[in-house]
C-alpha cells in the first residue's frame, strides 16, 4: 500500500529535477545570470574576449593555441592526409585563415574576400608551397582581431562580442583537430602540451 508523502518530503519533491519549483528556480537563476552577463562592464567584456582570442592564438592556458599547434611542421607534413574524406593540417590552417580574415574584414566594415558559399573551398585552396605564408598570415589576422577588440569602444564591444566568442570557439575546435593529426602521426612533442 502506498502512503502519502509528508508535507516536508512533498516540498523536497517539488524541488527535484522536473518539479515546478525546480523549474522556477532554474528560470530565475538563468535570468539572473543572463542579466549579470549583459551588465558586464566594458573592461570586463574586453578582458573576456581578449582572453578567448589569445588562448586560441598564442597564449598557452587551458589548451594548446593554434600558433603552437602549427609550429615546426614541414610543408609535406602540413599536406599529409589520411584520405580524401579528411583534411590535412594545411587545409585546416587555410580554412582558419579564410574565416578569421573574412570575419575581421566584416568587423572592420571592409569588403570581404569573395566567397561562393562552398565551405569546402576554404579547405581545398591550400597550397603546400605557401605553408609558411599561411602560418604567418593566420598569426597576423589573429593579432589584428585582438587589436580590434583592444581598441573597440563599449558599444562596439557589445555589438561584436558574440562574433568574437564564436571565432575563438571555431579556432579551438580546428586546433584540436590539428593536434590530433600530429599526435596520430608522431609529429607532436608532448612537452608543448596535450600529453
CB distance 88 to 73 below 8 Å:
no
C-alpha cell at 161: 562580442
Average pLDDT score over residue span 15-20 = 45
CB distance 49 to 146 below 8 Å:
no
pLDDT of 99: 98
How does pLDDT run across 57-101, given as a tens digit for each residue?
A: 999 988 899 999 999 999 999 999 988 789 999 999 999 999 999
At 37, is the secondary structure helix, strand, or coil?
helix
**Any idea what the Cα angle at residue 117 is, between residues 56 and 70, rounded to 5°?**
25
- What own/partner pairs with CB < 8 Å and gap ≥ 24 does 164-167 have? 164/49, 164/52, 164/53, 165/49, 165/52, 167/53, 167/99, 167/100, 167/103
Top pLDDT among 155 and 17 is at 155
pLDDT of 98: 97
Amino acid at each position: 500500500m502506498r502512503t502519502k508523502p509528508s508535507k516536508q518530503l512533498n516540498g523536497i519533491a517539488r524541488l527535484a529535477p522536473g518539479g515546478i519549483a525546480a523549474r522556477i528556480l532554474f528560470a530565475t537563476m538563468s535570468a539572473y545570470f543572463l542579466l549579470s552577463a549583459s551588465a558586464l562592464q566594458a573592461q570586463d567584456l574586453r578582458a573576456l574576449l581578449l582572453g578567448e582570442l589569445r588562448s586560441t592564438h598564442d597564449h598557452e592556458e587551458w589548451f594548446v593555441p593554434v600558433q603552437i599547434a602549427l609550429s615546426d611542421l614541414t610543408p609535406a607534413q602540413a599536406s599529409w592526409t589520411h584520405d580524401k574524406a579528411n583534411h590535412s593540417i594545411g587545409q585546416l590552417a587555410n580554412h582558419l585563415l579564410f574565416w578569421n580574415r573574412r570575419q575581421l574584414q566584416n568587423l572592420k566594415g571592409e569588403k570581404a574576400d569573395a566567397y561562393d558559399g562552398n565551405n569546402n573551398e576554404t579547405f581545398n585552396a591550400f597550397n603546400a608551397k605557401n605553408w609558411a605564408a599561411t602560418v604567418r598570415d593566420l598569426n597576423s589576422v589573429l593579432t589584428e582581431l585582438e587589436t580590434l577588440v583592444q581598441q573597440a569602444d563599449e558599444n562596439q564591444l557589445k555589438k561584436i562580442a558574440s562574433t568574437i566568442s564564436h571565432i575563438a570557439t571555431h579556432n579551438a575546435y580546428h586546433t584540436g583537430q590539428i593536434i590530433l593529426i600530429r599526435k596520430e602521426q608522431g609529429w607532436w612533442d608532448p612537452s608543448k602540451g596535450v600529453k
